[in-house]
């Protein structure tokens, strides 16, 4: 499962992109509204930092307006993927934009029916929100499982993107259910790093290595000779 970062923070993308694990990013009006600076610069900078699609969302309510905004956002950078909120107008806009060759991420999808319509409109990604479903006591695992199943049964290229990820278990669930992509806040990506046995293992290796100072000298010498200018 490919991992995207879900943020409007350039600093957060700069910090995490160097891990080499990001395949894309997603923004939305709420995430961008938290940031200082020009949205165009933020979106462009995130596109430069991640070597993959970066979702930028339209805010118009009618298909004509969504298409116009989508085309405009696509001029910012070749990595821009147009994010369209789910609605009948959104479906019409998705059909027109994807027919013109623009990638579309249909967002705010919460049911298999919405996902089926999204796929038939030709969307590149369908973003189903796990956290927001759980917030209203709807089992997100069940909904995402149904969405993956119904899209697998239909010959669609639309990929399932698990969004509104709140904790690392959502990531494992999305991967286990067969989602092609998950978009994660930086906080969750950092939580995924953690395991007490990894931390204690590194500390023990360090302690044991330092108990033999001659080993450190040997390795330093090897590094020096290996990296000496030719």
Which residues make up the interface to ligand G3P (CB under 6 A)?
A: 6, 26, 28, 129, 131-132, 163-164, 183
Q: What b/e string do you get for 1-29 counting C-beta neighbours within 10 Å, with b at 16 or more? A: bbbbbbbbbbebbeebbeeeebebbbbbe
Question: Based on CB atoms, which residue is closest to ligand G3P, 79 or 209?
Answer: 79
Distance set, CA 218 to CA 11, 170, 209, 227 (Å): 38, 45, 12, 14
Question: Based on CB atoms, which residue is closest to ligand G3P, 136 or 228?
Answer: 136
Between CA 208 and CA 21 the distance in angstroms is 31
Question: Which of 61, 83, 190, 207 does the annotation list as catalytic?
Answer: 83
Bridge-partner residues for 126, per DSSP? 106, 160
Please state the closest distance from residue 37 (CB atom) to ligand G3P, in A.
19
Active-site annotation holds for 61: no
Please state the closest distance from residue 83 (CB atom) to ligand G3P, in A.
8
Name the helix (H) or strand (E) containing 70. Answer: helix 63-74
Please state the closest distance from residue 177 (CB atom) to ligand G3P, in A.
17
Question: Based on CB atoms, which residue is closest to ligand G3P, 26 or 114?
Answer: 26
- The residues annotated as belonging to the active site are 83
């Amino acid at each position: 499962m490919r991992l995207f970062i879900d943020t409007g923070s350039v600093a957060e993308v700069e910090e995490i992109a160097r891990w080499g694990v990001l395949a894309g990013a997603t923004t939305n009006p709420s995430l961008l509204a938290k940031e200082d600076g020009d949205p165009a610069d933020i979106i462009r900078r995130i596109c430069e930092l991640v070597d993959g699609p970066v979702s930028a969302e339209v805010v118009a309510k009618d298909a004509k307006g969504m298409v116009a905004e989508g085309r405009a956002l696509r001029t910012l950078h070749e990595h821009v993927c147009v994010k369209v909120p789910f609605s009948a107008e959104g479906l019409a806009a998705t059909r027109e934009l994807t027919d013109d060759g623009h990638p579309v991420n249909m967002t705010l999808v919460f049911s298999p029916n919405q996902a089926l319509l999204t796929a038939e409109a030709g969307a590149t990604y369908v973003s189903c929100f796990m956290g927001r479903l759980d917030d209203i006591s709807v089992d997100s695992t069940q909904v995402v499982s149904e969405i993956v199943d119904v899209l697998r049964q239909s010959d669609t290229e639309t990929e399932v993107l698990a969004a509104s990820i709140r904790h690392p278990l959502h990531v494992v669930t999305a991967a286990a259910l067969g989602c092609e992509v998950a978009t994660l806040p930086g906080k969750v990506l950092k939580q995924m790093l953690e395991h007490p046995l990894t931390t204690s293992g590194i500390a023990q290796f360090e302690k044991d290595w330092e108990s033999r100072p001659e080993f450190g000298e040997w390795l330093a010498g090897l590094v020096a000779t290996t990296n000496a200018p030719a």
